[in-house]
Amino acid sequence: MANILKIVFLAIIGFGILVYLTAPKQASKDTKIDKSMKLNTSLFPSHFEVIGVGGYMKKNDLFKNANRKYIIVLNHDALSLIEPLKTVDRKDIVLVANISKTPWFIKKLAVDGKLEELNINSNIPMVNDSSGNFTKLLNITDDTQTKYFIFKINEDNSIVKLKEAEVKKGALEFGITKEEANNYIGTLISNLL
């Protein structure tokens, strides 16, 4: 019995060391966001990890000038809006799942699969912003779980923030009613000019 306990104890320690050694480096908290810099799609990286396409998508394919005009950044609870957004027939939206504050082990274990599940059968592409780089490029510093942010891409590829709104706390975990979904989506769509 003592040998089994030793093996279990050593396995736990070994697993902890493995997790520690393989964890990606966290971004420096000293990273300054230049709020005076004008937002523009030219600042975006050339490729994005897009949920549902099985990998990465080129920026030019994702943000074609005439097609994609709005970026909606969804923090944790705001991801509950993905399901009701599927019923909206809009081809001018790109969703961004801001999961950068989620611990990396949870991201690898559960979050990626959950995002796939949420976005299944959706016409709206969703960028997996697990590193937080996309939200930094949009000068988003507020990672409140219930918030979402709406941006518009102008014809000159400049980006302006249209709206910042919230859903109820626990919306992703406990769900939202049909009435709440209609209310949230109505508010969201009314901000898309």
The CATH number assigned to the domain holding 140 equals 3.40.30
Mean pLDDT estimate for the chain: 80
Residue 31 has what pLDDT? 47
Whether pLDDT at 23 is above 70: no
Is residue 80 situated within a structural domain? yes
Is residue 7 situated within a structural domain? no
Whether pLDDT at 36 is above 50: yes
Interatomic CA distance for residues 141 and 119, integer angstroms: 25
Average pLDDT over residues 85-110: 75
Whether pLDDT at 117 is above 70: yes
Asked which of 60-64, 72-76, 78-82, 95-99 is least confident by mean pLDDT, the reply is 60-64
**Which residues on neighbouring strands pair with residue 128, listed in sequence order?**
97
Q: How many independent structural domains does the chain possess? A: 1
Is residue 101 situated within a structural domain? yes
Residue 24 has what pLDDT? 58
Is residue 71 situated within a structural domain? yes
Is residue 156 situated within a structural domain? yes
- The domain in which residue 50 lies consists of 37-190
Buried b / exposed e over 24-35, threshold 16 CB at 10 Å, is eeeeeeeeeeee
